[in-house]
Amino acid sequence: MGRLSTHVLDTVNGRPAPGVAITLDRLLTGGGRETVAQTVTNADGRTDAALLSGLLSPGTYELTFAIGAYFRGLGTNLPEPAFLDSVPIRFGIADPDGHYHVPLLASPWSYSTYRGS
């Protein structure tokens, strides 16, 4: 059974990032998109449940993380507009039975991701 999960790490403060709003969209042929899930990270910077589970649909997806709102909520002094506000990560799912873990490591000025396990 396939699964898609994520988590967010705050690299400025060296800890998980709770309270980050996340939207998962599936990109459709022809340029449209369909929102598949919306959630918020828990105290461990993870979601309480997998974003997708079961037999995954192959295709292109996009996770969008509201990282600017997270850092503003901590009282971080950000310029307007913030350098990073919404961080999109576009990725493909090819194996419907695969485990796809897409973490975000973020600061107000940079981010990185990778396919985790």
Residue 24 identity (one-letter amino acid) = L
CB 9 within 8 A of CB 104: yes
**For residues 59 and 26, what is the distance between their CA atoms, to the nearest angstrom?**
7
Scanning 1-116, the segments in alpha helix (DSSP H) are 67-73
Is 7 annotated to bind a ligand? Reply is yes
**For residues 18 and 3, what is the distance between their CA atoms, to the nearest angstrom?**
21
Scanning the chain, the segments in alpha helix (DSSP H) are 67-73
Count of C-beta atoms within a 10 Å radius of residue 93: 17
Binding residues, as ranges, are 7, 46, 114
Binding residues for substrate, as ranges, are 7, 46, 114
